[in-house]
Structure 1
Amino acid sequence: MGTRVFERRTLAELLAEAEGRISRLSPSEAQTARENGALLIDIRSDSNRFRDGIVPGSLHIPRTVLEWRTAPESEFRNPYVDDLDHQIILLCDHGCSSVLAAAVLKEFGYLWVGDVIGGFSDWRDAGLPVGRARRRRSRPDKPAGMGPPDP
């Protein structure tokens, strides 16, 4: 097999490309989209959610398992993830990793994918709904990212 050569790209270039393929929403726009039926997926770590809080009604799928929980053909897909034509909005800590993650979902064929500009930090600062994360006991039969939306 031949060697495949890749052109090196900077993080700024990758982010710019990803931003051009998704919808970036302010926290208030994301809240309005949720009220109209969009699914908000929180990709932050458990520790950040326990420290900072959660968005009530959001679905927690950690970034580390996002592809396996959202790929339409994945046997490990979260049952609460909707069809490819349903709007999905990703939320991270500060609105950076969600850009790249949303671009991956676009590659899977999701038609309406976006993220929250400024992430959870800007969501909280905008005075939008925030709740406390509940500790869930980890169980071998319930892998990360497979639970229902947060209460």
Structure 2
Amino acid sequence: MIMSDSGSPQDERASVGSSSLSYGEVLPSRLINRPFTASPEALASNIAPSQSSEGRERTPSRSSVLSSASSQSGRQSLDAVRDQVAESIAVRTITRSETVDGNKIDVVITVSASSDASFLRRIADKIRNRLLLKSYLFALSMSYPPGAAVPLLLCTSSPELLTRASLLVNSKFTARIVPGARASPDGQRWLVQVQDLGGSLLDEEALWDVVRKAARAPADPLAPPPGSVGIEQRLALERARLERITPRAAYEELTEPSSPWPVVLVDIRPEAQRRAEGAVGGAMVVERNVLEWRFDPRCSSRLPIADRYDLRVIVFCSEGYTSSLAAASLRDLGLLFATDMIGGYQAWKAAGLPGEVEILATGLPAEEYSFN
């Protein structure tokens, strides 16, 4: 019952009519005590009375109110389920992620029936909320029918990571990128459509390659790469593998007819250097750039004498630096008796050794040893 201004009760229908004239439409008294759980649109339709041709009020259908409320509740429930699924995927992604140079990385291919770009964004939101203080890069996509354009979302904590990853995606999927890629204003997300992404078994591997390479810290061009060694260190390492000999010891080996294995002296200096400095008569001339091919017993371009692995090869250069690396290379081919001469040709000359050597340890004429 609605009370009048004087406090006396008024007929409901009359009250509605008079109130409408002064204040507009009012809520019927029979609806005041009824709970409303419907959508705002349903509520608005319920509180606006309908008039019949005789001016009588038409009451709203209870079933329509319940149906509208049920529809809204269903939409809310579905949204909650999607949110829960996105949260679960985000947690699994973070848990199984790899770490490259301090950056968490992973590739996620979701098979959710409701998957679309907005669902990928929802997953990205959940990841961001859990990794606020961490550095990460994730590639999120979904399983689509063959031939379809598939959304790919790169989400990261750093615009720099996103730039590197997006460039790699463009290079790997050049012919399949659908125009219209979009980056978020904060530079932490990049959404692109890739034609038939996932249609090949190599696509996921390509995405893994993207995130792994993009996550690596840029190399300092002035700092030596990990695992590299300077030439002095390398020279010391290679010499540690050799039993280097002096020029006089080399001369004695070459002129010893009872040597248990064939011995050869190999001059690896370039022609211009030999002309300028002089030569050792009787030494084989095999320049450095073809040395391995001439002494590898497996190679079809080898010298006739290089048909066995117990061949004693004594290498020399001008001063004994290049020869150490060359002898170590021959050892890598299996010539375990290969070595070099300490001090090279300069040391040979300084020791007063003859400029012509008759190599007796091989039993072959000296002219058969010259090779260019």
* Aligned 8 A contact 2:284 2:369 in 1: yes
- Note closer, same or farther for the CA distance 1:13–1:84 as it changes in structure 2 (3 Å cut): same
Offset of residue 83 of structure 1: 2.0
Partner residue, 2:349: 124
Q: Normalising by structure 1, what TM-score?
A: 0.80
Q: Normalising by structure 2, what TM-score?
A: 0.34
RMSD: 2.1
Decide which of 307, 322, 340 is 1:115's aligned counterpart.
Answer: 340
Give me the whole-angstrom Cα distance separating, in 2, the residues matched to 1:51 and 1:79: 29
Q: Does 1:99 align with 2:324?
A: yes
Offset of residue 11 of structure 1: 0.9
Offset of residue 118 of structure 1: 0.5
Q: Does 1:81 align with 2:301?
A: no
Give me the whole-angstrom Cα distance separating, in 1, the residues matched to 2:226 and 2:354: 44
Give me the whole-angstrom Cα distance separating, in 1, the residues matched to 2:306 and 2:316: 15
Larger Cα Rg: Structure 1 or Structure 2?
2
Offset of residue 6 of structure 1: 5.8
Q: Structure 1 stretches (4+) deviating beyond 6 angstroms?
A: none
Give me the whole-angstrom Cα distance separating, in 2, the residues matched to 1:130 and 1:73: 33
Offset of residue 148 of structure 1: 2.8
* Aligned 8 A contact 1:80 1:148 in 2: no
Between Structure 1 and Structure 2, which shows a larger proportion of helix residues?
2
Identity of aligned residues (%): 34
**Secondary structure of the residue that 2:266 maps to in structure 1?**
strand
Partner residue, 1:33: 253
1:81 is matched by which residue type in structure 2?
A
* Aligned 8 A contact 2:297 2:307 in 1: no
Decide which of 218, 224, 229 is 1:9's aligned counterpart.
Answer: 229
Offset of residue 82 of structure 1: 5.3
* Unmatched runs of 5 consecutive residues or more in structure 1: 132-146
* Aligned 8 A contact 2:312 2:337 in 1: yes
**Secondary structure of the residue that 1:24 maps to in structure 2?**
coil
Partner residue, 2:267: 42
Give me the whole-angstrom Cα distance separating, in 2, the residues matched to 1:43 and 1:101: 9
Offset of residue 96 of structure 1: 0.2
Give me the whole-angstrom Cα distance separating, in 1, the residues matched to 2:306 and 2:300: 13
Between Structure 1 and Structure 2, which shows a larger proportion of strand residues?
2
Q: Deviations over 1:3-49 (max 9, x none)?
A: 9x861101111111111111211110111111135211110111111
